[in-house]
Homo-oligomer: A and B are copies of this chain.
């Protein structure tokens, strides 16, 4: 790529400087910083990093690091269709599923923007036909339930977004169209539990597998088909109860087993596919076209904001830079994602996949071993629940864990109760504000067991309400943060070779080829 150089983090001048100037000591957040250290992700979502405790000198050096690693030029090259997925020599085009970011596109991208838009449009038409009763189940009953069968990227993203918007949709004009469920695990109890909760006559299944060969997903498809052939739903025609989302080159694409098929391609990684047909199929069926359109618009607006070259105006880039500082200079091994919103209960699980699968790498993009830490462990649960659980370690444990808080001024349903002079929503946010300050300021105490060291850094993503637009922007913010961190670490964030070996050994076992330790464990587990 013209004018772009790819070098390891530790070979940059800025990294050397960061190591010299790092001051891990306590820096309690001041009220003036709260107003100053804030960046708009979109016109509705804000990233506040006042409680990160970054000195002005560190911030300046991080900004120099972003320039040195050419983060924006690399993002532009990616968006234009350069094959930045070096391991698989593939383009990385998930941004294009929600809108175009650069004028000039590389060769090979012809028609792809249109093709992604076509799939969203086809899904909108299909969903409308289902909602209006033009498409019905095989016994002539209307569909009122949709079940996604998929795993990994075909599960965590769509599931967390569905849960994130379910309450919202239930009270809007656009409305909740259908209840959704998800089957992911090859554990047969998963599928059995889900199908026990639905009426198959009124259920539309969505089979999602890009390759069309995912073992878990095909097995769960067979589970459902068997149910309609010989099981408790015998008599239903499975072909009339299932659509597929897959690539046009997959075995599923040409199958007559589905009512219809919708497409993605190799340029959309599984964990980045929530804004492709993988996500929009179930989201459009569950919420309708309008809500999905707002969701995509929010993601696109955040994508555009992430093109800003000044990190002080680019939330995803600033978040990425601070994360690298905390990981590689301060040596913190993990990051906790803490949404103060029950609707985001599974959003940390999606971010766990997005981040750990993208940046859990030990070789750089050229395949050379690297000698510095890359992606951290990501975990989290909603607040205030976490406060009554693992926050003890976050406050007083021996390791410092940087925190990523997420909060909203209003609840989704606005169905609330006033107790002791405040609503539940006010209590929720009072707790969130209190936690940020408690982690940052700490507290001295003559009883050392009741003392808090403070200096435990956090950032806050906040908005007026968790809407489709805001959730799209949140998703995009984290996708772009992870991408920028990949650039800073000089790794390929878009392949996942680490998942292959286990698959190979499992196949070996299932084909009866099990000696040594593999056979010994298989025997323990009754394989």
Contacts and interface: CB of A to CB of B under 8 A. Distances in A.
Nearest to A515: B31
A173 interface: no
A385 B167 CA distance: 26
- One complex includes copies of this chain to the number of 2
10 contacts: A34-B524, A152-B388, A188-B424, A219-B424, A270-B388, A360-B393, A362-B453, A375-B398, A392-B499, A441-B517
B498 A357 contact: no
Task: Name A's interface SS.
Answer: helix
B520 A35 contact: yes
Nearest to A420: B510
Contacts of A75: none
Give the most central of A50, A353, A504: most B CB within 10 Å: A353
A426 B223 contact: no
A435 to B, nearest CB: 5
A47 to B, nearest CB: 12
A457 to B, nearest CB: 13
Interface stretch (A111-119, A363-371, A478-486): A363-371
A38 B108 CA distance: 56
Interface in A184-226: 184-193, 196, 215-216, 218-220, 222-223, 226
Interface in A348-407: 349, 352-353, 356-363, 367-370, 372-375, 377-379, 381-385, 387-399, 401, 407
Given A152-B385, A193-B413, 13 more contacts: A152-B387, A167-B192, A187-B342, A188-B425, A189-B412, A215-B427, A219-B427, A333-B334, A352-B381, A360-B395, A360-B398, A377-B377, A420-B510
Interface string A245-257: 0000000000000
A400 to B, nearest CB: 11
A389 B352 contact: yes
Q: Of residues A156, A342, A357, A499, which shows the largest number of chain B Cβ atoms within 10 Å of its Cβ?
A: A342
A440 B517 contact: yes
A433 B498 contact: no
Given A151-B388, A417-B226, A425-B188, A438 B517 contact: no
A522 B433 contact: yes
A360 B392 contact: yes
Given A187-B382, A452-B501, A521 B374 contact: no
Interface string A424-466: 1111111111111110111100011110110000001010000
Contacts of A525: 407, 409, 429, 432-433, 462
A393 B419 contact: no
